[in-house]
Amino acid sequence: MVGSYNQRVNRNTRRHSDLVEAPPRYVQVRISRMNRYYHSVALLTEWLSDANRSTISGLMKIRATAHSITGNNDSATSR
């Protein structure tokens, strides 16, 4: 009697792995496209920040060179 009850319960309950299946193919494709897009955006912002930083340091060097050449060390312009 106990065995038949257990067999009936096991037949009616689905395993956890059956419930948690892989998402459909179109969902996987969409997720991979999204990840690729976000990765490219992150690379672009990283490249832009690096370029921006080098540009700002270059401008500061040019400004410092101009101040040293002209002797213009006014606090308003050298800030």
In a domain, 58, yes or no: yes
In a domain, 14, yes or no: no
Number of folded domains in the chain? 1
In a domain, 15, yes or no: no
Residue-range definition of the domain harbouring residue 71: 23-78
- pLDDT exceeds 70 at position 34: yes
- pLDDT exceeds 70 at position 14: no
Q: What is the pLDDT of residue 24?
A: 77
Q: What is the pLDDT of residue 16?
A: 54
Q: What is the pLDDT of residue 26?
A: 78
In a domain, 4, yes or no: no
In a domain, 9, yes or no: no
Q: Across all residues in the chain, what is the average pLDDT?
A: 71
- Distance CA(13)–CA(6), nearest Å, equals 11
In a domain, 13, yes or no: no
DSSP symbols for 13-55: SPPHHHHSPPPPHHHHHHHHHHHHHHHHHHHHHHHHHHHHHHH
Q: Say what the pTM is.
A: 0.35
Q: Percent of the chain having pLDDT more than 70?
A: 57
